[in-house]
Amino acid sequence: MGSFPHHLLPLATTSLFLSTVEMVFAGLSLNVSPVIWIIPSVIIITFAHHTYILLLGSSEKHNDLRIYSSVPVVCGYILAFLWSTALAVSVTLACLLLSGIMKSTDDDDKVKIWMPIVAGISLVETIIVLYISIRSHQEMKRIRYSNKWRWRIDLTAGGSNPWSL
């Protein structure tokens, strides 16, 4: 068990908490339009991604390349894109509801309050997930660069040199 990466733990737990709050408000607003179903889908993917990162980060050393491999970093960038899509959906629907162009199916005025909250949380989630992805990508590059210049005993051990006779 190594030390957990310090920049990931508070951001991942904050993101998980905000995702839970957004799930509540998005669940209350699902009757506005079927396109809102993208938000719970992104939240489920976020839970899976952050759970994987938290479990992997708590079991590996801080400088282990396994935490910062290409797959979690690319998935983080894809997740940031999905959150920006959820942000666009929630902002569009909030504007349509507040301008009166679109009506809720049950004529509940509380949805006009919930959609801007969902849009705000989507904005914060987009920023958090994008920041986690960028920092993880930088850390991956740093670890790969330091591993590139580290002395490797397995290549210089006696008898394993492919150029010797």
Mean pLDDT, the chain cut into blocks of 10 residues (165 residues total) = 65 90 86 86 93 79 67 91 95 89 72 88 95 88 75 57 55
Rg (CA), the chain: 22
Per the listing, tokens 């850390």 go with 139
Which SS3 state, helix, strand or coil, does residue 64 take?
coil
The pTM of the full predicted model, rounded to 2 decimals, is 0.80
Among candidate residues 159, 132, 118, the one with its CA nearest the CA of residue 32 = 118
**Cβ–Cβ < 8 Å for 91, 119:** yes
